Structure 1
Amino acid sequence: MARALRTLTQLMGWSSVAIGLFHVALGNAAIPGAGSAGTTIDSWGRFMGSSFVGYGLAWIWAARQRPIPAAVVRWLAGVFLLGAAGRFLSLAVAGRPQWFQLALTAIEVALPPVFFWLADAEERTERVAAEPAPAGR
């Protein structure tokens, strides 16, 4: 489980950085259906892209710690879940988005429980390894 946590944490970090840089570089063109949204949305999208780069860097930082800090993983997963809540709110208020946004929503709902479950896997493994062996009879 500790290996799964480390792998998923790194994957989350690098994919967030890549997605963020994609949005910074392409602006509206990075958002399906937003190509003609105008300069205000372009500016906002590039800003949010840079914020997502920072979010990804926080995941990468966590993945490089020994052990990976469970509290940090839980906070970062909570932020990701908050993004899903925002998408659900948008769905209720503005209606159904482009299909790819629905796929992203599914990922944003599915991954946080996995991270919440795995969050302390590495800390737990190190705690067990550090405990003295039971004394013989």
Structure 2
Amino acid sequence: MAKALRALAQLMGWSCVAIGVYHVILGNAAIPGAGSAGATVDSWGRFMGASFAGYGLAWLWVARQRPVPARAVRWLAGVFLLGGVGRLISLAVQGWPQWFQIALAVIELGLPPVFFWLAGADERALRSGPEAVPAGQ
């Protein structure tokens, strides 16, 4: 499970960095339905893209720690979950978004419980002794 935690944290980190940079570069064009939203939404989207890239870098930093710090994983997963909750609020207030936003909400609400479950795996493996941690970890 420690290996799965590290791999999932790395995947999360690189995905967030890539998505964030994509938004910084493309602005409104990166957001389905926002192509003509104007300069204010474009500015906000690019700023949030940079913030999301930074969030991804935090995941990558966490994945490189030995052991992977459970507390940091829980905090980062909690932030991701909060994003999913924000989408639910938007759905309740504004109605159904474009289909891809729904798919993202499913990921944002479904992935954090997996991280919460795996969060302490690396720390537990380390406490169990070096024989519990495969070579190269």
Corresponding residue for residue 12 of structure 1:
12
SS at match of 1:85: helix
TM-score for both structures, normalised by structure 1: 0.94
Aligned mates of 2:102, 2:117 — CA distance in 1:
24
Q: Which residue number corresponds to residue 91 of structure 1? A: 91
* Partner in structure 2 of residue 104 of structure 1: 104
**Counterpart position of 1:134:** none
Q: Distance in 2 between matches of 1:63 and 1:92?
A: 35
Q: What's 1:68 paired with?
A: 68
Q: For the aligned residues, what is the CA RMSD?
A: 1.0
Q: Please, which runs of 5 or more residues in structure 1 have no aligned partner? A: 132-137
Amino acid paired to 1:14: W
Name the amino acid aligned to 1:71. Answer: R
**One-letter identity of the residue aligned with 1:24:** V
In 1, Cα distance between equivalents of 2:37 and 2:130:
56
Aligned 1:1-137 pairs, distance under 5 A: 1-129=1-129
Cα displacement (A) at 1:5: 0.1
Deviation at 1:72, TM superposition (A): 0.1
What's the offset of the Cα at 1:101?
A: 0.1
For normalisation by structure 2, the TM-score amounts to 0.94
What runs of 5+ residues in structure 2 fail to find an aligned partner?
132-137
Alignment-mate amino acid for residue 121 of structure 1: A
TM-superposed deviation, 1:130: 5.8
C-alpha separation between the residues in 2 aligned to 1:107 and 1:130? Answer: 34
Structure 2 distance, partners of 1:17, 1:126, is: 29
SS in structure 2 opposite 1:45?
helix
% identical aligned pairs: 74
Alpha-carbon offset, residue 102 of structure 1: 0.1
Q: Which has the larger radius of gyration?
A: 1
Residue-pair matches, total: 131
